[in-house]
Amino acid sequence: FFTDKYADFIDANRKEDPVERLKTLKRLIHDLPEHHYETLKFLSAHLKTVAENSEKNKMEPRNLAIVFGPTLVRTSDDNMTHM
């Protein structure tokens, strides 16, 4: 399912107007199947907790993105160049 929506999320994130970008991303997230939505919600809450403790664990949002980005956001052809 998500690979079908990958391009929609990428296009939404490229919107220059931050208000429009946020509205589009929220709509796409809320359109996810419930099990995907709940997984994303849980993972986001966990990563937020990790980032809130970055003074101790050195995992501020940028580091979390470096570590988790390639694992969580992949193109359907799994090409690292496109990521």
CATH of the domain at 40: 1.10.555.10
Answer yes or no: is 78 within a domain.
Answer: no
- Quote the mean pLDDT of the chain: 88
pLDDT for residue 83 is more than 60: no
Instruction: Give the model confidence (pLDDT) of 29-54 as tens digits.
Output: 999 999 999 999 999 999 999 999 99
Please indicate, yes or no, whether the overall pTM of this predicted structure exceeds 0.85: no
How much of the chain, in percent, has pLDDT values that exceed 90? 70
d(CA 30, CA 24): 10
Alpha carbon 75 to its chain centroid, in Å, reads 13
Answer yes or no: is 25 within a domain.
Answer: yes
Instruction: Identify the band that residue 62 occupies on the pLDDT scale cut at 50, 70 and 90.
Output: very high
Answer yes or no: is 51 within a domain.
Answer: yes
CB atoms < 10 A from the CB of 71, how many?
A: 7
